Amino acid sequence: MTFRHDFDPTSLREYDIRGIVGKSLHPADAFAIGRTFGSIVVRTGGHVVAVGYDGRLSSPELEESLVSGLKASGIEVLRVGRCPTPMLYYAATTLATDGAIMVTGSHNPPDYNGFKMMLGRKPFFGAQIKELGRMASAPDVAPEAEGSDRRIDIAHDYVARLISDWDGGDRLLKVIWDNGNSSAGEVLQRLVRSLPGEHTVLNGEIDGRFPAHHPDPTVAKNLEQLIAAVHEKQADIGIAFDGDADRIGVVDNKGQILWGDQILIVLARDVLRDHPGATIIADVKASQVLFDEVTRAGGNPLMWKTGHSLIKAKMAETGSPLAGEMSGHVFFADKWYGFDDALYAAVRMLGIVARMSGPLSDVKEALPHSVSTPELRFDCEDTRKFQVIEEVAARLKTSGARVSAIDGVRVRTDDGWWLLRASNTQAVLVARAEGASEAALDRLKSALTEQLEQSGLKAPDFSGENAGH
């Protein structure tokens, strides 16, 4: 069969392949991904690829086409079935595989879907995704061959491995879980049966329509049901997942949200007791409070680029035992395998809370207070967004400002800091600011606005409620 395929260019993203089903993403794209990725695996001497899919209504059909494409390249496909993304990562890491592909739309709306990939034990992203697109259109693929597929069940092993790192004390916790109708549903039910304490699961049924709320735990509105349940049950903690359970949300016993960097502070203090002086990585959107608290706990804080694939690569390079992002991706490499897994992060967080002498709210409330904007995203053409960053960076350099250029520009002043970066996945710029007080934050917003206006852009809407941090 002659093979050649052109992807919708908007679907080839920095960290994954993603689009709107029936518009920019089709079963033919899934076949092409299998055919080209399978060719890459074959050419690197491999022959086994693990495949999983999430709970979206379009995922089973896309998985079938993906498997067909892999088999047409001579690949032996291990079909993990419907599962959370980290369970597929677990399969790819612990079994004899040469790669993995997860069919998932992550936290996107129900009409989206996509593909997250690993080659060997590493994330497949950036230039590799662009090369996959080139190979499909060239076409430049391995000769057609007859592969095979078989279904495997690793859910029991995965849950047993999660439980093996439980390290809570004698205190029995009351826990509310909001599965958010995510693909973790069945695995989560197994997990809570194995954990001590009292557990209540909300929205446990896997449903790709996400009837309860949008599956993104970084948005406060999506945590309202969880917060209400924590209050009603007088629970010790609430845990939430995104659509494929590689990102975590946490609320404390008072129903207060712990944002991604605050979650990482709690986890880092615990990890640093066993790994004093270790490097703890967080993305450029994280609070300065996080970096200061890591230092205070005896760690070496490292600010790095946003993006789960970029964070994983930096962890491997530095030997970091723990990393995290504001988006709720948490990566353990002390006892775990270095990939982002909300279920595992939850087990570790519960263990820490079970060993605390007081409630989790005490920890949050003892953190230094700051005031910050939410993450502000505003439209900017793909052809212009990186130019804007370069212009701002050049002006700041001549002004003598204290600037980190790791990912966009992050400017530190006596008032706090502000950030401007270009999204790697959308035609938008991303801004954020954090100050010691409302007045300090206003001055930071003004500085950011001035830079944007000098580049001919209107500032984002700052009228939303600032977050205490």
Residues labelled catalytic: 106
Residue 355: partners with Cβ closer than 8 Å, 6 or more residues away: 167, 168, 169, 171
Radius of gyration of the chain (CA): 22
Angle at CA of residue 451, ends 449 and 457, nearest 5°: 70
Selection from 19, 38, 39 nearest residue 27 by Cα: 19
Q: How far, in Å, CA of 250 to CA of 328, rounded? A: 9
Report how far residue 161's alpha carbon sits from residue 332's, in angstroms, rounded to the nearest whole number: 14
Q: In angstroms, how far is the first alpha carbon of the chain from the final one?
A: 58
**Residue 361 dihedral angles phi and psi, to the nearest 5°:** -60, -30
Residue with tokens 């789960």: 308
- Interhelix angle 438-454/382-399, rounded to 10 degrees, is 110
Q: Give how far Cα 179 sits from Cα of 46, 201, 232, Å.
A: 35, 7, 18
Two structure tokens written together for 184:
């973790």
How far apart, in Å, are the Cα atoms of 244 and each of 47, 108, 216, 228?
26, 10, 10, 23
Determine whether 120 is exposed, middle or buried from the number of CB atoms within 10 Å of its CB (0-12, 13-18, 19+): middle
Q: Which two tokens stand for residue 274?
A: 């066993």
Length of the chain (residues) = 469
DSSP codes joined into one string, 450-465: HHHHHTT-PPP---SP
d(CA 266, CA 234): 21
Cβ atoms of 216 and 298 closer than 8 Å: no
Q: Can you tell me the distance from the alpha carbon of 424 to that of 13, in angstroms, rounded to the nearest whole number?
A: 7
